[in-house]
Amino acid sequence: MKRHHFLAIATAMLLAAGAHAQMQVSQGPASPPDQGHPAGVSSGQSKIGPVYVDSRGLTLYAMSRRYASPRSANFNGLKYCQGPCAQIWTAFAAPADAKPVGLWSIVDGAQGPQWAYKGDPVFTYVQDGAPGAAGGDGYDDLWKAIAYIPPVPKLEAPANVAAVYADGGYILADGQGRALYTGGKASDASLPFVAGLASLGVGKDWTVSRDGDRPQWEFQGKPVYVSQENVPTKVPSEATTLRP
């Protein structure tokens, strides 16, 4: 009995850990929001979504030093891309007077100083013949297109409202990351976005309605509700997601 009890507890702990890991993975975008980038770098739309691009509009890729190091005689992997590799991948060279900006820095690559993103050297892929191409994404398990996430917008909203990036843009959500919306069909499943008893309006868009049992936030004069969908960033049909 004791052994079975121990196994049951261990299994429950593993399931809980797995659920926690899934929650952590789903909380935000794979790349952080833009914190500034080098001159000549901008954002562009590719077949896999918004990415950083060079002055020609070609997708920029980061080479994982973590995975390159075991394959390279150079311990940190920065010198990995030489010979045949350099014929496929073009180092994104940094000018002599380049300065770090945001998550971008300058490293000593195989062809000299080049830009790095979060410490990983940056390249373009020779076979990307035109803007929008992203043929090098996932190449040899080393290169990954650098996703572009816009800076987090400044909000004039209640304290428990946050901007969450979802489906290519920012939406407004509560403190648990559940989308806020107006409209839609009223139902017992609708969860009002409750305001504090002493809450006052915020900015020009947010006011408090005290018509119901509890104060409820309104946005531009319309009652605000909290998503109860299985995907927390989704809202019911016919509803309007709030955006910054």
Are residues 138 and 99 part of one domain?
Answer: yes
Residue 187 banded pLDDT, cuts 50, 70, 90: low
Q: How high is the mean pLDDT of the chain?
A: 86
* 198 falls within a domain: yes
Are residues 219 and 180 part of one domain?
Answer: yes
* 75 falls within a domain: yes
pLDDT, average across residues 23-35: 57
Are residues 169 and 138 part of one domain?
Answer: no
* 16 falls within a domain: no
* 157 falls within a domain: no
**What type of residue sits at position 236?**
P
* 215 falls within a domain: yes
Are residues 177 and 203 part of one domain?
Answer: yes
Which residue range forms the structural domain that includes residue 222? 162-241
Q: What pTM was estimated for this model as a whole?
A: 0.73
Number of domains forming the structure of the chain: 2
* Domain final residue pick, 112, 145, 178: 145
Are residues 56 and 106 part of one domain?
Answer: yes
* 25 falls within a domain: no
What pLDDT does residue 27 have? 32
The DSSP output letter for 93 is B
- Portion of the chain with pLDDT greater than 70, in percent: 85
Are residues 109 and 139 part of one domain?
Answer: yes
* Domain final residue pick, 116, 145, 174: 145
CA distances, 144 to each of 30, 33, 65, 209, 215 (Å) = 11, 17, 12, 48, 47
Assess whether pLDDT exceeds 80 at residue 25. no
Higher pLDDT, 52 or 15: 52
Assess whether pLDDT exceeds 50 at residue 77. yes
The Cα–Cα gap between 150 and 23 comes to 23
Cα three-residue angle 223-29-48, rounded to 5 degrees: 110
Assess whether pLDDT exceeds 80 at residue 151. yes
Are residues 198 and 131 part of one domain?
Answer: no
